[in-house]
Structure 1
């Protein structure tokens, strides 16, 4: 008898970042074609994850997005049913996510630092601003910290460039599959707990970066896109307009004028 399973549509993948930590862990996970129930080849899965939530460049990629699903298999029906309920609640949470966080990514440290300085000039407090970037795009993803150094600690010497001085509280977090990532500002306090909880089904389908951003109230789809940009060496900046008591539209304009690109949730890309 076949083990009970649940199939997650590809475009529902970001909801995984909103799962409760106590959700049932599946025994097996595999990407499938939902029409034929056949398992996707590794190269096809790689194409799917690299292009998901962006405008498909070809009819074949669009079809891949529409027909793919993640099949998660459980030990029993009770676990499968509990996961289904938990996942439904996670999707509701994702849809109702607050719009208080204004976000953007920048090509490099100079433009990101200029944006932060502009925010300061406009009276935005440091406690409302967060930044995330790879400490070096040349470091290998399997980087290991030196013996005696924890996974999260103040390590401004690794941050490089002027960006380390843009904000107090810069820390280095070693993220599996990515390597050392610098986190600064409001995100620093919660970054370690976010990545520490990065396990189970989420750990097998995405990155700790996206989990960290969704815990920071960044929309799940946007977090998935920003994760890809950070991996490429770009710099993420966010402003919490509740803490800063600011107008989100004005902050968006400031980041845009400084060269920031925002994840367009309707178009599925960075605009």
Structure 2
């Protein structure tokens, strides 16, 4: 008998970040070629997740993007149907655009800190600004601490000055596969709960950073791209123009002038 399953197309993976936390959990997950129903090699899955939504590529890469899917296998048909309904709702949220959150990625903490300073000069308060960055780019994700030097203690010390000092309230998240990640500003209050609700099906598409960003009203496609950049050591900055009482267009222009690569007002493109 065929097992009850639901296949999520690669281009709809960001919808997973909008799933209700009570959605049915699959018994197992499989990356497949939807055309041949064969399992993808780990190297192809890695390539898929690193290149998805990044614009044009080779014909073979485009074929991978178009044919790949994540298959969730459930214990019974009822579970599968409940998941399918939850996914329809999640996909609807993915395509509902928000225009109040302006986002950008910066190549280094120094550049991001200057951008934050400029935001302050424009009258934007800490309550409207958020930052996310890896606290160390030289710590391996499998790093083991020496006696008397806790992992979080080291990460906290790294985040204690410089960029973190520009913001009130800094949290350190130890994210599997990434290592210590610092969250500062408005995102701090919700960061821990966002990471805590990451399920297996979301974890199959990334580390959970994207889930944290979508909970912060960053659209799913942009969040997927930003997660990849944060993993590479870049710094994410956002401004909530409802909280900050600011003009999104003006903030968008400032971020670009300060050196930020931005997906615009949720345009979903970091080519």
* TM alignment of 1:1-271, pairs within 5 A: 1-143=1-143, 156-159=156-159, 162-263=162-263, 269-270=269-270
Task: Give the CA deviation at 1:93.
Answer: 1.0
Structure 2 residue runs without a partner (length 5+): none
RMSD of the TM alignment (CA)? 2.3
Q: 1:30-67: per-residue Cα shift (whole Å, max 9, x none)? A: 11111111111111111111110111320110111011
1-side partners of 2:36 and 2:253: how far apart? 46
Structure 1 residue runs without a partner (length 5+): none
Decide which moves more: 138-147 or 65-74: 138-147
Q: 1:169-201: per-residue Cα shift (whole Å, max 9, x none)? A: 112111111110010000000000000111221
User: In structure 2, the residue corresponding to 1:15 is in which secondary structure?
Assistant: helix
Question: In structure 2, do the counterparts of structure 1 residues 244 and 106 end up closer, same or farther at CA, with 3 Å as the change threshold?
Answer: same
Question: In structure 2, do the counterparts of structure 1 residues 256 and 92 end up closer, same or farther at CA, with 3 Å as the change threshold?
Answer: same
2-side partners of 1:134 and 1:178: how far apart? 8
Contact 2:218 2:266 in 1 (8 A): no
Q: TM-score, normalization: structure 1?
A: 0.93
Task: Give the CA deviation at 1:153.
Answer: 9.1
Contact 2:219 2:266 in 1 (8 A): no
Contact 2:6 2:80 in 1 (8 A): yes
User: In structure 2, the residue corresponding to 1:205 is in which secondary structure?
Assistant: coil
Q: TM-score, normalization: structure 2?
A: 0.93
Task: Give the CA deviation at 1:202.
Answer: 0.7
